[in-house]
Structure 1
Amino acid sequence: MPPFDTLWHALRHWAGKTPDRIALREGDGALSYQHLAAQAEGYARFLRSTGVDSGDRVIIVGLNVIEWVVAYLAVMRLGAIVVPANNRISAIQMAELARLLDARLAISDERHQPLFAQAGVKLLSLEAVASLSAQEELPDFASPQAPALISFTSGTTGEPKGALLSTAALCKASEVFRKFFRATSADTTVVIAPMFHNTGFIDQFGQMLLAGGETMLVKEFHRKEAIAAFKAAPATFVTAVPSVLRMLMILDDADAVFGPARTVLFGGSPMPAAWSREMLERWPHLELVHGYGLTEFGCACSFLPPEMIVDFGESVGFPAPDAELRLVGEDGQDVPQGEIGEVWVAGPTRMTEYWGRPEATAQKLSGKWLRTGDYGRMDAAGRLFLDGRRDDIINRGGEKILPSHLESLLAERPEIGYSVVIGVPDPILQQVPVAALEIRPGHEFDEGAARTFLASRLPAYAMPAHFILFDPFPRIASGKVDRRNVREAVIRMLNDRSPNLGDTHET
């Protein structure tokens, strides 16, 4: 397989070599590589006729549909900068996003067009993408150094930060997945994450595009639709956060998801060892891989190989292909093996900058290195273990508490499905730890038993001051728990001294 300079070079290659092979499916619809290339080029000509030029920012908002992918490819074909936007933000946030980008236009499905009510940007219909074309000449392909995509970091609140990836970085990010997972034109994947997330357009669609494989889109994630998609297009590559994988595992039709699969990639949080063991007992042919990624790095920073999942499942493994990792202390020097430091990462998939945020860019980049804001340690074999975010460290009267350590202990309790440990303000101690919990169906939480369990494993200062139950946790688009939302809810509840907050209550 030849190396590709851009995703478009890959699309053109497969459109010529295997024109009739299916590239993209969604429901009963499908596009071959030849037709995908033709539709994307046709829409690129139309966008050109509306005045879109290289470097212009174009926002795309919609569900996981074929038209979304066609528009995504068409914008890139012009050398414009595509912005896959979160369809779950508010109209006010979308207006802030459009102003930050100084966007040329937006392409949205009908359902999400109200998000642009205050954006002051020209709006095109996503549903019309497949039918629009023009006779405009197309420019040469963008250079590898040209900006290609702005991906906004996870979350639905706070100051938006858009990581700018070059044409080469975007292509290389997908190539990292193709290379590590040995993808070929015989491979398939089903996208259940939103396509605006890196998982959708880099890990899955991008990987399959480079390999000449097939991508099935689930328009909007619901269990019934997801199972139908896996049955219609059995996937060899499956990826999701652990909580979503667990939900799929317990379905009656779980064999349709995991039976045909070769590889299951998970990230965002460790997979509980019990879940990994159960998955391998039921589907022993599977290769389970734990990945660690960042929006600012095209997602792929490290992978834990399948042979280490059972014994070292909490580790995020070793550097991804062409990536470099180091752990840096407060003095700016590398920390010794086994000690905790901030994870810095370097490689060809690193972002160029945060769009329109020079101060944030300066704080994030140091030479070739990206400062992740994650703390971690390496064992003697060079495996990386994450120990929480810089901002997550809890300072209780001068004693430092790592939330990830507490969360790891709480995961051993059979009744606890998921936990989030946060620090809340305290007038005397500065901060105290609080454990927010999601209890597994059919189980009850016994605070006394949990405290006894933790007391034998923790110093007294690290014991949670409160245990608060959520049913369920709020989650962001990728399926990960929205820690910021959880923190705000907990602090609000404690400040109000109220025993109830919606579905949340203190034990």
Structure 2
Amino acid sequence: MPADSAAPAWPVMSIADANAALGGPGSPLEIRDGEVDGVKMKVYVNAPPTIRSILEMAAATWPERDYVVYEDERVTFKGMMRAVQHFAKVLRETYGIEKGDRVAIIMRNYPQWPVAFFAACSIGAIATPMNSWWTGDELEYGLSFAGVKLAVVDGQIYERMREHMKKLPELEHVIIARDKGEDHADPRVKGLETYIGDANSWGELDDIGLPAVEIGPEDDATIMYTSGTTGKPKGALATNRAVISNMFNSSTCQARMLLRRGEAIPEPDPNEQKATLLAIPFFHATGSFAILIPSMLRGDKIVAMYKWDAGEALPIIEREKITAVGGVPAIAWQLLEHPDRDKYDLSSIQAISYGGAPSAPELVSTIKKRFPDAAPGNGWGMTETCATATLNIGEDYVNRPSSAGAPPGAVELKICDPDGNTMPAGEVGELWCKSPSNCKRYWNRPEATAETFRDGWVVTGDLARIDEEGFLFLVDRAKDMLIRGGENIYCIEVESALYDHPAVMDAAVVGIPHKVLGEEVGAVVQLKPGKTVTQDELRAHVAGILAAFKVPVEIQFQDEPLPRNANGKILKPELRSRFTARA
């Protein structure tokens, strides 16, 4: 569809002109030539220097506003700051956590998650979130690989990792959030409430200030685990600048939509508070970098749920006046199609955005039909880019529903051939991204770092094309990975688990298209001669090794070898065609 078909006057400004206006002198989103880690690139002039500085600003500006709501627990910005102050002091003085030490956060989206995260960041430690769905073996690997000194976990995680702690000599301390006061035999284990009390009482804690620590934009802030073609998770190390630049990428894309409509960018209303229904984990780059920290910067409210359920979300949207929902396409579909949707007042919703999984182009038209005043949005980013690099919203998304959007002025994209040469517009190749929001490197993975991080560019492994106006279209993934409801699943990891069964000779994992989840895990297996195993037995075997979301929903068996090309590579497109898409 041509770009000017949404309305007679659309667009009134090109992408390039809108980016230039937003990045110009005097703009809140001003960009200038800078240098990051020795590489010249555009940087945001007005970006706060550190995550700690955002916390300090928010607590001073909106002390009595709700920041995090979880069931009957309501934590104001003041309450969050007080809890962070006290826990940061405990980390420094009681546990000896110093600048650069790794502090793991592994729990559900409880209010204690951001306390641990901001406390670590506020003293210069490296916050290291981990997937709360990981098995004990996976947690052991993550804790050991990052050399975590202290972990803040919930009770379920502690039970999962307890038997592995004897193999983690560097893990000196474990603090259990929402601890029920049990006496823990292990002297390394304490309850978080011992130090800060329950969430509803945090606002009553004394104002003791944050510990005095020098932190700058280029100091390391987080390690977010991702995965690679080896199947073992890699820790992507990000600086304060990288994490904060991500939210300025999003803000630029949102403001650009208004300029392309011909509308003025409104001044922030000091009396208006927006609210996000958090339906994805904080341990995702999206959950923490694109929701947790930006909400603090803007004075917004986050409403968390124990577990996502569309039916339970509907009354929360009405009660809390939720303005933004989304996360992954599955969540948007479930809200749009829930039979009780019309029983609730959902008129507060202003934005339905998602990313992290393939989405059907029909999703945007369905959103516009059922929520005509809400701006649909889709974007592209990855852990290595600290979440958002591009965002496609409003009329641009309606006109290009299969695009992930055009980059803001501080983000440079290019399409390269296998030798790293830039390809012309419209041609398909590998996507490279250069931005101040890019991670610094992989933790203790020099070879993987050299492969992915090149002179300020992230070599993404995604196959894509970019049109003449700069809109990004993802075509496929060069890396062997599928995404189920926003969760990255690397095929080789699941294949290795299948290979571990004594009856399996050969195995290949592919994505099965799914309307809501984007993809589910499918597998084709060749058994060893004379060996037998049922699909249920093999699924149970994989479930004993990997997290539940990685277990194949369907396994097909065959006697002949799996199809391969002349180089011995399995012909996965042929295998994918054997599976029927699921609703």
265-274 or 366-375: which moved more? 265-274
Secondary structure class of the residue paired with 1:316: coil
- The equivalent residue for 1:251 is 338
- Residues 209 and 180 of structure 1, relative CA distance in 2, 3 Å threshold: farther
Instruction: Describe the superposition over 1:467-489 as per-residue Cα deviations: whole angstroms up to 9, x where unpaired.
Output: xxxxxxxxxxxxxx97x7559x6
- Residues 438 and 262 of structure 1, relative CA distance in 2, 3 Å threshold: closer
- The equivalent residue for 1:323 is 411
Q: Do 2:361 and 2:401's aligned partners in 1 also have CA atoms closer than 8 Å? A: yes
Instruction: Describe the superposition over 1:127-169 as per-residue Cα deviations: whole angstroms up to 9, x where unpaired.
Output: 2435516989813242111111000116999211011111121
Instruction: Describe the superposition over 1:177-206 as per-residue Cα deviations: whole angstroms up to 9, x where unpaired.
Output: 344446876221111111111121111111
Identical positions, percent: 25
Deviation at 1:314, TM superposition (A): 0.8
1:260-271 matches, within 5 Å, as 260-271=348-359
> Which of 216, 221, 226 is the equivalent residue of 1:148?
221
Deviation at 1:113, TM superposition (A): 0.4
Instruction: Describe the superposition over 1:254-287 as per-residue Cα deviations: whole angstroms up to 9, x where unpaired.
Output: 3658531112212123432333222211211111
- The equivalent residue for 1:457 is none
2-structure distance, mates of 1:323, 1:203: 16
Gaps of 5+ in 1: 394-402, 405-419, 425-430, 441-480, 498-504
2-structure distance, mates of 1:78, 1:384: 38
- Residues 372 and 89 of structure 1, relative CA distance in 2, 3 Å threshold: same
Secondary structure class of the residue paired with 2:423: coil
Counterpart code for 2:428: I
- The equivalent residue for 1:219 is 306
Counterpart code for 2:177: L
- Is 1:289 matched up with 2:340? no
Q: Do 1:23 and 1:214's aligned partners in 2 also have CA atoms closer than 8 Å? A: yes
Q: Do 2:102 and 2:150's aligned partners in 1 also have CA atoms closer than 8 Å? A: yes
Secondary structure class of the residue paired with 1:293: strand
Q: Do 1:56 and 1:104's aligned partners in 2 also have CA atoms closer than 8 Å? A: yes
- The equivalent residue for 1:125 is 176
2-structure distance, mates of 1:141, 1:13: 17
156-165 or 196-205: which moved more? 156-165
- Residues 28 and 326 of structure 1, relative CA distance in 2, 3 Å threshold: same
1-structure distance, mates of 2:81, 2:210: 16
Equivalenced residue count is 430
- The equivalent residue for 2:544 is none
> Which of 171, 175, 197 is the equivalent residue of 2:248?
175
- Residues 217 and 439 of structure 1, relative CA distance in 2, 3 Å threshold: closer
1-structure distance, mates of 2:277, 2:442: 30
1:68-467 matches, within 5 Å, as 68-117=113-162, 118-119=164-165, 120=168, 121=171, 122-127=173-178, 128-132=191-195, 138-153=211-226, 158-181=231-254, 186-254=273-341, 256=344, 259-392=347-480, 436-438=512-514
- Residues 179 and 26 of structure 1, relative CA distance in 2, 3 Å threshold: farther
Q: Do 1:192 and 1:226's aligned partners in 2 also have CA atoms closer than 8 Å? A: no
Instruction: Describe the superposition over 1:388-435 as per-residue Cα deviations: whole angstroms up to 9, x where unpaired.
Output: 111359xxxxxxxxx99xxxxxxxxxxxxxxx9x999xxxxxx99988
Tell me the TM-score normalised to structure 1 length.
0.76
- Is 1:20 matched up with 2:64? yes
Gaps of 5+ in 2: 1-27, 29-45, 179-190, 197-205, 256-267, 484-488, 496-506, 517-547, 562-577
Tell me the TM-score normalised to structure 2 length.
0.67
- The equivalent residue for 2:9 is none
- Residues 65 and 323 of structure 1, relative CA distance in 2, 3 Å threshold: same
Deviation at 1:175, TM superposition (A): 3.3
Instruction: Describe the superposition over 1:212-267 as per-residue Cα deviations: whole angstroms up to 9, x where unpaired.
Output: 11111112223344334323322222222112210111113436585311122121
Structure with the larger RCO, 1 or 2 (CA within 8 Å, 6+ apart): 2
Q: Do 1:242 and 1:271's aligned partners in 2 also have CA atoms closer than 8 Å? A: yes
1-structure distance, mates of 2:63, 2:512: 52
- Residues 496 and 439 of structure 1, relative CA distance in 2, 3 Å threshold: farther
